[in-house]
Amino acid sequence: MRIARPIDAFGGTAEDAGRPGPIRVAVTVLLVSVAVGLATWNAAFAGTHLVLVLMLAALAAVVLVVLALTRFAIFVQVLLVVRASLDLVKNQNAGTTDLAGRAINPASLVEILFLIAAALWLAAQHRSGDVAPPSPLRRALYVFVFAGLLSLTGAPNIGVSATELLRILAAVMMFVVLERMMRDRQATRAILRAVYLSAVFPLALTLMGIVSGAPRSETKGSFVRLLGPFTQSNTFGRYLMLLIIFGVAIYPRLGRSNRRALAVLLAISSVFLVLTYTRSAVVGAVIGLVVVGLLQSKRLLLILAVSAVVLLVVDPTLGSRFAQLGEGQGSILATNHNSLAWRFTQWSDVLQLSGSNPVTGIGLASTSLVTANGEQPHNDFVRAFVEMGIVGFLAYLAVLINLLRVGWAAVKTSTTASMDRSIGVGFLGCAIAFIAASVVANVLSNVVTLWYLLAFAAAASAVVIRNTQPREHPGLAQPAFEASFMPQTPNSRGKDSSDGDR
């Protein structure tokens, strides 16, 4: 007898999460169409940005609230699809301390709506008796959020710090929700599909801009860097970094037609990653892919080495970008070079701020408010220590350690050449790349990056739960993971089934 799947708080089931229904497709198309239309209007009619943001918020809020109350699983997937594109209609005039301006940003409104809906859904799960002990990573994330809350006591601007805490809390809550949902294999497939669908609009927007001769970009020094739908090229680069690493890992487990679709997405993403000239993301992607190659396919290492040589020959600008690390020695004023020497000086200056409140820190997102140059630390370890004190620094280390543990556990507890193992390998590569980037960049400030990192973390954590605690969670006893994460017709599914687990 097949065990019934758990029902979510508002009537949706785990099975709904994996079924490509017309409602989900229609809603996704609607939201993306609205985003494209408003972006076009914004480009045509300058000065109407606030009106556009409010219109987007009103239209999206109605649809999202209905979904949250009726089909929570689909609601979550829609958020994962659109989150990477929301910065396109961000209120650009809102500064760091302009809380009212930042509050009307679509991303902020979506995060608040998600937190409310997720809290209700989790409460309903608890009432229904579907309670599982928290995973070590979930506990570490809880402690990190608590450390962020403690840091508010020393914040010079409590509103700014509280806003940053809210953004981080939304990412953590996404992990909590997805970890529970992904205990079901079919839901895992649907959620991974949503993550990769999130790249369709950013890549299409950038591609159309290049074809038209006016891609969204920013100029830093002598480099023109692609932005995608984001406000910074660094954010675009790190987002693509995660998708590439995880995508390469799961690629062999997909059916033939879906491998072709993913190959196109990964190829375009790789080109755009290079054109963001985000050094931390490029290096992180290389490190992550080396991890995937060592654990899953040694042939990937050869492909990676050849690709690196070709890139440096075809685009010498990339080599020039890394050559900047040796420029601007010893001067904090060499911000145009953004050199490694400048970072060392910045870290030293920022660390001196910890003396005012070494235990709980000076408050999240406060470094740029109190430093003379108004810059962030460019090192998340330094940032955690200064802004969240010793408590936050230890909590951040605990999160990073548990990210690695989850990835490694997913690899070790899964069957060779299975989707579960590829999920573990892919996430382990993402986790190591994230940590490497955190040493020289403000990755924690890119909350959109955290959303997708923690989505992959939830998939890996669910793999561990499925493979180590099957009897404690009866809902886990599901059919084998199908060899795709995108919709297929009955004919194509049968045709591709032999290519599934290679």
User: Which pLDDT belongs to residue 219?
Assistant: 86
What is the share, in percent, of the chain residues with pLDDT greater than 70? 73
- Is the pLDDT higher at 323 or at 89? 89
Q: How far apart are CA 409 and CA 489, in angstroms?
A: 34
Q: How far apart are CA 483 and CA 502, in angstroms?
A: 10
User: Which pLDDT belongs to residue 53?
Assistant: 56
Beta strands, E only, 182-296: 217-220, 223-226
User: Which pLDDT belongs to residue 5?
Assistant: 42
How large is the average pLDDT for residues 456-482?
67
Residue range 368-406, pLDDT digits in tens: 888 888 888 899 999 999 999 999 999 999 999 999 999
How large is the average pLDDT for residues 480-501?
38
User: Which pLDDT belongs to residue 18?
Assistant: 46
Q: Given pLDDT bands bounded at 50, 70 and 90, which one contains residue 477?
A: very low
CB-based contact 85:202 (threshold 8 Å): yes
Q: By C-alpha distance, which of 487, 404, 456, 8 is closest to 195?
A: 456
Q: By C-alpha distance, which of 449, 415, 134 is closest to 423?
A: 415
Residue range 114-153, pLDDT digits in tens: 999 999 899 888 888 767 788 999 999 999 999 999 999 9
- Region of poorest pLDDT, from 128-137, 226-235, 296-305, 361-370: 128-137
Q: How far apart are CA 366 and CA 372, in angstroms?
A: 12
Q: How far apart are CA 285 and CA 238, in angstroms?
A: 9
Question: How many other C-beta atoms are found inside a 10 Å radius of the C-beta of residue 57?
Answer: 18
Beta bridge partners of 219: 224
User: Which pLDDT belongs to residue 368?
Assistant: 86
CB-based contact 152:351 (threshold 8 Å): no
Q: How far apart are CA 440 and CA 238, in angstroms?
A: 13
Instruction: Characterize 231-247 residue by residue with b for buried, 16 or more Cβ atoms within 10 angstroms of its Cβ, and e for exposed.
Output: ebbbbbbbbbbbbbbbb
User: Which pLDDT belongs to residue 55?
Assistant: 64
Q: Residue 66 corresponds to which tokens in the numbers above?
A: 């209905």
Measure CA 15 to chain center: 24
- Inform me whether the pLDDT recorded for 338 exceeds 70: no
Q: How far apart are CA 484 and CA 253, in angstroms?
A: 7
Side chain identity at residue 56, one-letter code:
L
CB-based contact 79:140 (threshold 8 Å): no
Q: By C-alpha distance, which of 203, 231, 220, 190 is closest to 86?
A: 231
Q: Given pLDDT bands bounded at 50, 70 and 90, which one contains residue 58?
A: low
Q: How far apart are CA 400 and CA 403, in angstroms?
A: 5
Q: Cα torsion for 423, 194, 438, 420, to the nearest 10°? A: -10
- Is the pLDDT higher at 14 or at 254? 254
User: Which pLDDT belongs to residue 472?
Assistant: 45
CB-based contact 397:388 (threshold 8 Å): no
Q: Given pLDDT bands bounded at 50, 70 and 90, which one contains residue 489?
A: very low
- Is the pLDDT higher at 37 or at 170? 170
What is the share, in percent, of the chain residues with pLDDT greater than 90? 46
Task: Provide the 8-state DSSP code for 7.
Answer: B
User: Which pLDDT belongs to residue 483?
Assistant: 36
Which residues fall within 8 angstroms of residue 181, CB to CB, at 6 or more apart?
14, 17, 73, 76, 187, 191, 458
Full-model pTM: 0.82
- Inform me whether the pLDDT recorded for 297 exceeds 70: yes
CB-based contact 239:448 (threshold 8 Å): yes
Mean pLDDT, all residues of the chain: 79
- The full length of the chain comes to 502
User: Which pLDDT belongs to residue 46?
Assistant: 45
